[in-house]
């Protein structure tokens, strides 16, 4: 894929000139989404690197990892990495074995990331960070408003407008034996069942998501 260094205006979602790099990194303009045409929200395409500071500062406070397998579900994540792998823009997430989210990721091979620009919302943090999609409908309980995706099948969340659409390129289970002992003891206590929302006995699987689209929901 030849990189383009100028902003490009794109009318149709799947216009042939719209390469992955352009979509994720280089387009900076307003695009009317299907919903915007109906007089609803608009998506402002962004260069992800312009938002690296916000994403990395919001992460430890808890942003959303959204999946759409048997149903739409959002889980709070505090760990993640924005960067480049194999020459592609990527976002890495770390998901413990017993999360409902893990079964959805393995089924669909994709996810979206939703980050607030300034502040997390207490109800969203509570519902999406301590309850499982196995037991409840988080859209209803957390009052989430879903925004139609552009490239993948997983919506974004309007309440947290900074959105990354990601396709999973690679995944790898953590090897607990290789994790420094002090971290292993704190983060992976073997006497805590995997159903606990925070630190427990489960290791994480790392999922490398290629960022195929990035925008703000306005
Ligand atoms: C601030 C915060 C950060 C979290 N980060 C992660 C994470 O990076 N990976 C993970 O597996 N769980 C993380 N969790 C826990 C999950 O959000 C929680 O267990 C959630 O209920 C799982 O939802 P699910 O079963 O619907 O997938 C975090 C929770 C909070 C509150």
Nearest ligand 1 atom to alpha carbon 77: 5
Q: Which residues line ligand 1 (CB under 6 A)?
A: 62, 73, 75-79, 94-96, 99-101, 125, 129-134, 197
Q: Which residues pair with 217 in a beta bridge?
A: 43
Separation of 128 CA from ligand 1 center, angstroms?
7
Q: How far is the CA of 51 from the centre of ligand 1 (A)?
A: 23
How do residues 94-131 score in pLDDT, each as one tens digit?
999 999 999 999 999 999 999 999 999 999 999 999 99
Are 182 and 80 spatial neighbours (Cβ–Cβ below 8 Å)? no
Probe target for ligand 1 pocket from 69, 99, 103, 136, with the most ligand atoms within 8 Å of CB: 99
162-204 residue pLDDT tens: 999 999 999 999 999 999 999 999 999 999 999 998 999 999 9
Q: How many CB atoms lie within 10 A of CB 106?
A: 15
Structural domains in the chain plus CATH codes: 20-217 (2.30.110.10)
Query: What predicted TM-score, i.e. pTM, was given to this entire model?
Result: 0.85
């Amino acid at each position: 894929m030849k990189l383009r260094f100028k902003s490009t205006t794109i009318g149709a979602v799947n216009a042939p000139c719209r390469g992955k790099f352009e979509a994720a990194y280089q387009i900076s303009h307003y695009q009317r989404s299907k919903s915007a045409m109906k007089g609803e929200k608009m998506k402002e395409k962004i260069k992800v690197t312009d938002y690296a500071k916000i994403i990395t500062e919001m992460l430890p406070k808890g942003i959303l990892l959204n999946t759409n397998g048997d149903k739409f579900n959002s889980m709070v994540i505090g760990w993640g990495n924005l960067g480049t792998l194999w020459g592609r823009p990527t976002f890495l997430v770390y998901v413990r074995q017993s999360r409902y989210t893990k079964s959805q990721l393995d089924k669909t091979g994709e996810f979206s990331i939703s980050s607030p620009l300034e502040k997390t919302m207490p109800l969203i943090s509570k519902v999406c960070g301590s309850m499982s999609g196995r037991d409840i409908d988080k859209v209803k309980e957390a009052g989430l408003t879903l925004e139609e995706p552009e490239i993948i099948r997983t919506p974004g969340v309007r309440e947290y407008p900074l959105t990354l659409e990601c396709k999973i390129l690679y995944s790898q289970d953590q090897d607990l034996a290789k994790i420094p002992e002090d971290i292993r003891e704190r983060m992976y206590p073997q006497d805590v069942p995997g159903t606990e929302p925070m630190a427990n006995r489960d290791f994480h699987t790392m999922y490398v998501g290629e960022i195929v689209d990035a925008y703000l929901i306005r």
